Chain A
Amino acid sequence: MSGQAGHIIVKNLTKIFARSDLNATLVALENLDMEILPTEFISIVGTSGCGKSTLLRIIAGLETATFGQVFCDGEAIRDTDPRRGLVFQEHSLFPWLSVRDNIAFGLRATGKYRSSVELVDRMISIVGLQEFANSYPHQLSGGMRQRVSLVRALIVSPNVLLLDEPLGALDSFTRMNMQDELLRLWNEHRNTMILITHDVDEAIYLSQRIYIMSPRPGRIACEIPLRISYPRNRSSSEFVNVRNMILRKLDFAKEEQEDYNL
Chain B
Amino acid sequence: MSGKTVSIPAEATPAPKGALSQGRTPTPWELRQLESAPKSKSRASADRVICGLPIVMAALVIAQYKLAPNVGNAITTDTYTYFILFMAFLVSVKFIMSCFSKTSYEKLLAKAPLYTAGFLLFALYDYATLKSGILPLPYFPWPDRILNGIYEDRALLLDCIKNSLILLFSGYFAGVFAGLLTGLASGLSSRVRYWVMPLIQILGPIPSTTWLPIILIVASSLFGGSVFLIALGVWYPVTMTSMLGVLNIPKANFEAARTLGAGKTRLVFKVALPATMPHIFQGLTQGMSVACTALMVAEMMGVESGLGWYINWQRGWAEFAKMYGAVIVICVTFSIVNFLLSLVKRRVLRWQEVNWN
Contact = CB atoms under 8 A, between A and B. Distances in A.
Partners in one complex: yes
Interface of A: 60-62, 80-82, 84-86, 88, 91-98, 105-106, 108-110, 136, 138, 152-153, 156
B260 A109 contact: yes
B274 interface: yes
Contacts of B353: 138
B261 interface: yes
Contact of A96 (B252, B257, B274): B274
Contacts of B262: 105, 109
Interface string B246-286: 00001011011111111100100011001101000000000
B263 to A, nearest CB: 7
Contact of B351 (A86, A97, A153): A97
B255 A62 contact: yes
A91 B250 contact: yes
Contacts of A94: 253, 256-257, 271, 274-275
Contact of B259 (A86, A93, A96, A97): A86
Given A88-B252, A88-B256, A95-B351, A81 B275 contact: no
Interface of B: 250, 252-253, 255-263, 266, 270-271, 274-275, 277, 350-353
A91 B259 contact: no
B259 A153 contact: yes
A105 B250 CA distance: 17
Contacts of A85: 259-260
Given A91-B252, A109-B260, 15 more contacts: A61-B258, A62-B259, A80-B255, A85-B260, A86-B255, A94-B275, A95-B275, A96-B351, A97-B351, A108-B270, A109-B262, A109-B263, A136-B350, A138-B351, A152-B260
A93 B246 CA distance: 17
Nearest to B255: A62
Contacts of B257: 94, 105, 109
A10 to B, nearest CB: 18
B253 A156 contact: no
Given A91-B252, A96-B277, A97-B351, A106 B258 contact: no
Which of A80, A82, A91 lies at the interface centre, i.e. has the most chain B CB atoms within 10 A of its CB?
Answer: A80
Which of B253, B256, B258 lies at the interface centre, i.e. has the most chain A CB atoms within 10 A of its CB?
Answer: B256
Contacts of B253: 92, 94
A138 B354 CA distance: 10
Contacts of B255: 62, 80, 86, 88, 92
B295 to A, nearest CB: 32
Nearest to B274: A96
A108 B266 CA distance: 10
